[in-house]
Chains A and B, each alone.
Chain A
Amino acid sequence: MMIAHETFDALAALDVIGTASGEEHRALDGHIAVCEECRRAYDDYAEAASSFARGLVPVAPPAKIRGAVMDGVEPGVEVEEEETAERRRLADARWWLGIAATVFVALWIWREVGMRAAREHIASRDAEIATLTEQNTLLTQRNEKLRNELATVAAAGTRMMSLTGQPIAPSASGRVFVDSARHRAFVIFANLPANGEDKSYQLWILRASQPKPQSAGVFDVSPNGTATLSVENLPADNDVKSMAVTLEPKGGAAEPGNASYYVAGKP
């Protein structure tokens, strides 16, 4: 026990002037916490160590230091509290600002996404309207055409002439509904061979008053070989000698390019 005290007494002597190692310092701390004798020895050494400072000739610090110390004490507490409150206010403000910014960004993004969706929706609807308008125009035109064709077929003075298949297409046929009063006709073709993409069928009218055949229109046949054609400005009945259909370049020709008739007939 005596050895232990002597050891700690030596450690205390070293520790009070900072020359004990960290391990020695910890061991000493632990010991003097429970050993009154060694704690007193430590306190004595600490008091002795202070003699190095107490032996110095005192030097008055500048007067401003006293003022700074006093200002930094009692008023400093208030200042610190004020600073803390200010920091808290700033932190709160930053917090609210952060939330406001986040909400603003979220609303802006929501608005942008909504507007973009709305714009896309409107564009889609515009495209749909354009398509429907176009379809409506086509249907209107088709309806007008059908109405005219029906009027032609159903007119009181309408007569019919047949076009029969020629050797190149023996099963083909055609029916011409002639409305002489309005100088128009409506032709229905059947069993015509499909024309190629670079070809068109063309109906010719051979007239008594003219040596060259007159084009009455071009048409394409459907996959099942049917087609219709409306003829306007039909010559007078007595001027129409016959009708015939040839296959011509796409869009038709000024006069028949060949004598290969697919269907032909006379009034």
Chain B
Amino acid sequence: MSIIKTVDKIRSGELSSRELLEKYLPLIEAGQEKLNSYVPPLLSEKARLAADRLDERIKAGGGEKIGRLAGIPVAIKDNMLLEGTATTCGSNILKNYNSPYTATAVQKIIDEGAVIVGKTNMDEFAMGSSGETSYFGPVKNPADINRIPGGSSSGSAAVVADKHVFASLGSDTGGSIRQPAAMCGVVGMKPTYGLVSRYGLVAFASSLDQIGPFALNVEDAALILEVIAGYDPKDSTSYNPENYADEKTLDIVSGVNDGVNGLKFGIPKEYLLDGLDPEIRSRLEETAGILVKAGAEVQEVSLPLTKYAVAVYYIVAPAEASANLARYDGVKYGLRTGNGKDLMEDYLKTRQEGFGSEVKRRIMLGTYALSSGYYDAYYLKAQKVRNLMKADFENVFSQVDMILSPTTPTTAFKIGEKTEDPLTMYLSDIYTISSNLVGIPAISIPAGTDSKGLPIGIQFMAPLLEDRRLFTAGRVIEGTYPNE
């Protein structure tokens, strides 16, 4: 399953988009049955219409541009707006929300001919590392349906791993693309902050959130990123490459096969401490060996503030979330359960019923950290440590081109195993959180499975706006340990 090869067949008329879609629709339905990977309904009819329209254009010829994702079945996380569909964000409070417009990143894949087959299930408001906090029930891992697929882009990882779509979009605030990608055994990538427009993405933590791709291979992931990246005046944090960036910043696909000869990689010694599964550690060491064989140098580096990353994150992200989620008040949109005696009681009842426990916990943490008397000790303190962390990374990137690490400390755990202990759940994001705090791009590449047959992911991190390097490195190690 390669997007580029399949699009060639569709462009040449060897295969129609409708034929391709009809081949995949039964697999999509079966996947949903098994994995609960979509928020119902599936968008099968919309997809058929889109495929037919595309086929007519191809048949008519006339030199009209046929997109780089022509006819490719793709899924999007249900926190991205697609006009004419509900966008639930995995929450009761938004279960009847109709998207009034389409997110920029989603529009960009549609403009290139992608056929959107469904909106994927996710942790409520993208808050979770396991796919278990969704109002629509937990998502299951295709490698073992008794285990979690990771989160919060749980469905977006599961549907690609189940091979019933070619790619998907997710969002990553503290690892929400890379962690499920690792646990499901697919490629998942978080771009540099500001590289992909967040217009039409439901806001969780605005200084951390980024949309990024899931795919079965590095080249396809690079293609999706190339399509969705770029300046968007509708997002005030969108990065304008015309003014500031290297002209090759957005030229992602062309460098995929450049190889790593002469590049330097650093493994942070703090990432190898207790809590890292020995099987993942030895896979990391083997990966380092592959890079060396390909002409790269691998050395030890130090990120001394690593142990504070989770603490900083669980102030910054909840603080931003508590502000962003204040808009769910039962007035402008979403659920209103309003039989209260006054407006205040309507707010309380609506939010009580509308939000699940994890969302409430984080709003509580954030409100507390921002409240009078605690702001300096928590929020301001975290913002200062965040700046120190940035300096840590700048120091490492003065020594090496990329950081090499595990994506997760363990492989997929059992459904229900960590739901009672939020802190333990939070600590499973230890390797992915820092790149969101400092804004740098990172990718998770599948590196085979452990002795239980569960996928292992290897992570690369690169300096700000050096997203293309990640694909070059990923390409060198992918396929070394084919799943099954």
Are both chains from one complex? no
